[in-house]
Structure 1
């Protein structure tokens, strides 16, 4: 059974037992929407997935069937599985290993250094950015929708587009070449990361595909990403 715990006014924790099947999990989310909608709407929530392993596709399904209709804002994902946590972090979400594993000291130190450099919490935008619309943020940005031609997204952190990327994206706009761009469908002729510009041809094998884009040895590297 999924548990919804009140931590303080407007702050909740949703605990999803790791031994629940996927079907049981979504039945539990449906039950929460019908019985706890008055608590969820407008609240900040931590989602604790415990030791569950999951894919980006499952994350998107959770978002569409529970988080978006509930009207809550997810402030933290607690998950101990390293690969699942990496998926979340690459998409720009704030994560924790929760009570199940200890975070490596060097990673904690990296987080402190990042915060000291002025990296802000992630920003999530629901909807499609149309030509002429712009989003700029001093942290990670996640777009749940498309970025159309003529639209622009600039972020000091990583950029994730769970949709078509047809506009301009600049991750690491503060000058960092260590950021990543992730998209469900790459349909943009260029992507900027830090001080580098990647040019993508329409004949590329990656055109229209889910990809990650990052800088490796001073070169822009495009690689496949798990299908969303």
Structure 2
């Protein structure tokens, strides 16, 4: 299947979601295509450049600016990245980066949340995260350690978000379309054998393993 930049309308504006498996030359081409097809709707609006887990260097960021951001005429631009190196480059350059301040806890201690997360809520914590409730569609959880959900997982979760691929994810009821551990990620279909079941997810030989428990 051919990769494209996915455009998604949100309350923040237009989110441009970049694929993670394409090189800089293909990214430049996709930027040109998006501008031709949808450039009008980007003019004078807020733009979120979502790089997902791409490790984007200075050259690639400049290419995105030159081929998409500047020609679009967007009035406000926010960058989003799961990759620590990319976030550091963006911060050093002074770009506005989407932050996740909600539910931040003490460094090194597990964070316990005794409620469900609604759509739009985001959790970031520098250790393990335990949620006694649901992670609903549209919510997100980032943890440098493990993520355990004693409820239904429908949102996006990223365990080992600082690069730890020994972290794992445990969900009592798994119904998420995307999960991440370290730099690894997987998109999941509803017809998967572990959908709606208790599931353990961990990394093995550069691949995410899903195990019904």
| TM-score normalised by structure 1 residue count | 0.46
| TM-score normalised by structure 2 residue count | 0.50
